[in-house]
A and B are shown apart, each in its own frame.
Chain A
């Protein structure tokens, strides 16, 4: 058996297929040129450009970021387990992406607006969305279900990249209103190939919309590596659209917070969009229906585990004396309690009423829906007659 080195992250190719590519030597789209404030070993590194954006973080705030990541991971693990137990039809795990989501999510103000894809459980957490609300669509009781305006957190979007245009339009509206809030759109490396994402870049640049495009490059779009999406590092795409792009260590919560704050402030100042590429890794499967062992190697995951976002912050907190045993023990208790709450909430989640099929299709009504609703109700009622 051949032991593969770091190049092992590339999928096996038939020999000879990469000759031309090798001769052209394109810049690797995965070559890291990262904004980093905290190394994988938990060392704080100076960054003259971004240090000021985290200078205000108190020990309490740092412990808060750690708590957010731990609880989000616990929630995610619980949901994965619930899927395995048959309580959820599907789950899209965020394992490994906690820093990207908590760092960017905590950079937001209450009046900012978030347009997520379907994996932003950590961002939802930061917005104060009850995590059990996120499970309805995965349990199959609704297609979203929460009021986007109550937490300025839009519904999850399944169609890849669609929400980047909604975010851009919303941001255009923010600018029209003369407000100084900002909008953030989440998407993945696979979505960067979609026309909608590129149209969102065009519209946001042309209208100078206050939107931050936050791409979590987790290296894999189901089974397709980033190399199948792009020949240049993703953050460099922004330049061609006329706005800045920055690549941040997506496993570094401080760097994600700093870079997102910087981009949001730029948007608030009326200077337009920014593309942030959070270079991270999806440690689990794409969803619970996926089998990553078919397309990637264990040693790749092992290499990324060494960059774990939670471990590195813990090392830093311990080393700096910001958090001690008592904090970690109490957080563990809180984490267990969250798991229990999620478990119980999912199991108690009722199936929707049959008539829900016909609800909320139109705001102003529709004759055909009314007719079919009545037919369906009569049909349902006919069974009740039989039982009597």
Chain B
């Protein structure tokens, strides 16, 4: 049967397995991805089945992981690299933004860079510092990169397939606190475009736009608001570069109100870009300014404070109330 209930983690694992199985050029690289199966077990069992030449435990050097993946891509491979945690991507940041993102353009299109950089990101799991960050804006800001984040097991499965098949570098942000959420995955379905947003819940009074870990929070907020008679639409962006502004625009033209929700700091974040673009596109439709709910301009706090930092149901609903009050 093609439809199976599985967790986000399992869906990613199945997706990687399928990619390794169908394309001999696909490689998995990263710290602890072999015998251990990764610290989140996303690569569990893959080295056992595909061998050390396909599922490669690397030295503890993030720039080295991405830099050698670039070389392997130049040789015709399709490396999928795992950065162990969000805060550890920065040693590789130079290779990602100065090399990976620009190689295709520098060669006037003669070479392609099919590299996927998987990054478990976001908070809510009680981790120590550098293990809970949301650095997606840094990457979305760089031309040459594509940046996506799934929120469901089905998207985890299919978006990773699509990212691996893409000839461009894709930064694939995995919402780590959703790894254990379960949902149905149809492994024989024909998926929609990788960068198309998805209306996760229909509504008429206000649009909530979110991605990755915050989609679930927004769906819960919409359910709570429904009990108070408010009809909220939830748009799951799925992609931060490019952003599917058309889908958001269609939703906002219907609801006339928009609140963007993400874990990353609000200042100069994805929400800022959406607020600006939607204001340009929907100026005469909007009944209220686009509001943003997200992290503060502060380092991600210690675990005992993260519930205060992360947007939860109450903060989202507070923003909904503020928008509706205009």
Contacts and interface: CB of A to CB of B under 8 A. Distances in A.
Interface of A: 115, 142-150, 154-155, 157, 159, 162, 164-174, 176-177, 195-196, 199-200, 202-203, 206, 359-364, 366-369
B120 interface: no
A169 B108 contact: no
B242 A368 contact: yes
Interface residues of B, number: 47
A171 B68 CA distance: 9
Interface string B143-162: 11010000000000000000
Contact of A166 (B61, B67, B76, B108): B67
A363 B195 contact: no
A169 B144 contact: no
A159 B70 contact: no
B75 A170 contact: yes
Interface in B65-101: 66-77, 91, 94-95, 98-99
Contact of A162 (B61, B94, B243): B94
Interface of B: 53, 58-59, 61, 63-64, 66-77, 91, 94-95, 98-99, 102-113, 143-144, 146, 166-168, 195, 241-245
Nearest to A173: B75
12 contacts: A143-B106, A145-B108, A166-B67, A169-B69, A169-B70, A173-B74, A195-B91, A200-B68, A362-B146, A366-B146, A368-B242, A369-B143
A147 B98 contact: no
Contact of A165 (B70, B102, B108, B242): B70
B63 to A, nearest CB: 6
B67 A363 contact: no
Contacts of A174: 75
Contacts of B111: 147-149
A344 B91 CA distance: 44
Contact of A359 (B68, B109, B110): B109
Contact of A143 (B69, B105, B112, B244): B105
Given A196-B64, A361-B144, A363-B112, A165 B95 contact: yes
A144 B108 contact: yes
A173 B72 CA distance: 5
Nearest to A143: B106
Contacts of A366: 146, 168, 241-242
A155 B143 CA distance: 19
A195 B108 contact: no
A368 B141 CA distance: 12
Nearest to A209: B68
Given A149-B110, A159-B99, A368 B67 contact: no
B106 A202 contact: no
Contacts of A361: 104-105, 143-144
A206 B284 CA distance: 61
A82 B151 CA distance: 56
Contact of A148 (B67, B68, B110, B146): B110
A196 B69 contact: no
Contacts, number: 151
B52 to A, nearest CB: 10
A146 B111 CA distance: 10
Contacts of B243: 367-368
A173 B71 contact: yes
Contacts of A145: 106-108
Contacts of B104: 360-363
A168 B67 contact: yes
A360 B71 contact: no
A365 to B, nearest CB: 9
Given A154-B74, A362-B168, A369-B143, A176 B107 contact: no
A174 B95 CA distance: 21
Contacts of A143: 102, 105-106
Given A170-B74, A173-B76, A203-B61, A162 B67 contact: yes
Contact of B108 (A142, A168, A171): A142
B168 to A, nearest CB: 5
A2 to B, nearest CB: 43
B105 A360 contact: yes
Given A361-B104, A362-B168, A200 B110 contact: no
Contacts of A157: 99
B241 A196 contact: no
Contact of B68 (A150, A159, A203, A363): A203
Given A159-B99, A361-B104, A199 B242 contact: no
Contact of A362 (B63, B72, B108, B144): B144
A114 to B, nearest CB: 12
Given A162-B98, A203-B64, A362-B146, A155 B107 contact: yes
A173 B74 CA distance: 9
A367 B277 CA distance: 14
B72 A364 contact: no
B242 A148 contact: no
Contacts of B91: 195
Nearest to A137: B106
Contacts of B98: 159, 162
Given A362-B144, A363-B109, A369-B143, A165 B72 contact: no
Nearest to B60: A202
Contacts of B59: 199, 202-203, 206
A196 B67 contact: yes
Nearest to A201: B64
Contacts of B107: 144-148, 155, 360
A148 B74 contact: yes
